[in-house]
Structure 1
Amino acid sequence: MTKDVNETVTGEWVDETTTFQRVRSVMRTTYDGQAASDIADRARVSETTARKHLEDLTESGYVESAPNTEGPTLYTRSTESLILEEASDILERVETGKLVQEINEMETELESYRDEFDVETPEQAALEGTIINQQTLTAWQTTRRNLSFARTALALSGSKETVQATNAV
């Protein structure tokens, strides 16, 4: 009988990684609250092992836990770790000079939205009943999010340069 490809790959993953690596890998793509038992199943570890690693990941800020009055504690990927990951990805793809240029362009775009709608944020526009079509609203929110990622990437870039300069001394 031929072994299923998914079973083979899963078996290799289990053989080639630690329990911590598997729990962290599962959490890397967990954006909605999940119970430790579900994470344990996906990571191919015991629930006790998953809980131990989830506590460690929560302490490090990679994961957030939320008590659930209707059931077990739910675990999600932390917003901060997502932002840092996205910022690191940006640094791998974009040179610092280009990043500064893109930040300036996004700031100009956001300023034009503020001027056009006479409010500071898309949320304020909604509260005040400002009429904005969905496409424009989405573009405003996306630009603001991307600017946040880009600024974080630029800050990380400066931190890396400082570390490199310190290590060179």
Structure 2
Amino acid sequence: MTTSRWDDVNEHVKAEWKAETSPFERVYAIVEGTHDGQSAARIAERALVSEPTARRHCKTLVTTGFAEADADGRTTLYKRNSDRVLDARIRELREETTRDDILDGIERMKRDIRRYQDRYDVVTPEALARKLDADETEGWDDISAWKTTRTNLAVAQAALAYDEASHQLTA
């Protein structure tokens, strides 16, 4: 059996990652990118650690609030804590963007959403999904963009509300 050049590259990258990071850092990195729950066994495989090591570090991440754990039968599934992700996005937006830029962004995103609504004569991307045929590529691409815009709008509005509440508390 012949090993391709890409297999060699992947193995090299894995070896380098393992050499340059601790088992905890690798488990953290995997959980940080996990939207849907994954078992300790799957996280261990991806983080290049043993299953007991992955489970121990996942429990630590749950204890610190960075991760969430959900039971799925006899298996525990771990994923990043969505509230912490949201908090981080709001904090980053507030620190890196002016209030005027946030307001401008909110208005732009509202216009974009209205354009989707007018174009497809529906009020939500979910309603559009019910109308589309499987082969309508542009419509499906618009659903994805619409959902992303809606999420970004909610984060921007939350950042603005947080900023306003923060100013009221210090006034």
1:112-131 Cα deviation digits (max 9, x unpaired): 22122221101112224486
CA distance in 1, matches of 2:127, 2:164: 33
Matching residue within 1, 4, 9 for 2:20: 9
How does the TM-score come out when normalised to structure 2? 0.66
Secondary structure, aligned partner of 1:31: coil
Deviations 1:116-149 (A, max 9, x none): 2221101112224486623333322221121122
| Aligned partner letter, 1:126 | A
Superposed CA offset, 1:3-60 (max 9, x none): x8656532xx58xxxx7x8865653333342334565784978466435424424xx4
User: Are residue 134 (structure 1) and residue 140 (structure 2) matched?
Assistant: yes
Paired position in structure 2 for 1:56: 63
What residue in structure 1 maps to residue 156 of structure 2? 150
For the pair 1:27 / 2:38, whether they are aligned, the reply is no
Counting matched residue pairs gives 151
**Pairs within 5 Å for 1:39-78:** 42=47, 46=53, 49-50=56-57, 52-57=59-64, 60=65, 62-69=66-73, 72-78=75-81
Aligned partner (choices 107, 111, 117) of residue 104 of structure 1? 107
Deviation at 1:74, TM superposition (A): 0.7
Q: Residues 134 and 36 from structure 1, CA distance in 2 versus in 1: closer, same or farther, beyond 3 angstroms?
A: closer
CA gap of 1:47–1:161, structure 2 versus 1, over 3 A, is: same
Secondary structure at the residue paired with 2:111?
Answer: helix
Distance change (3 Å), C-alpha of 1:37 and 1:159: farther
Contact 1:36 1:50 in 2 (8 A): no
Summarize the Cα distance change of 1:56–1:108 in structure 2 as closer, same or farther, 3 Å threshold.
Answer: same
Partner of 1:119: 122
RMSD of aligned residue pairs (Cα, Å): 3.4
- Gapped regions of structure 1 (runs ≥ 5): none
Give per-residue Cα distances to partners, 1:51-91, cap 9 Å, x unaligned. 5424424xx4x42222223x520100133322222222222
**Secondary structure of residue in 1 paired with 2:72:** coil
Give a deviation string over 1:78-115, Cα, whole Å, max 9, x none: 33322222222222221011101110111122122212
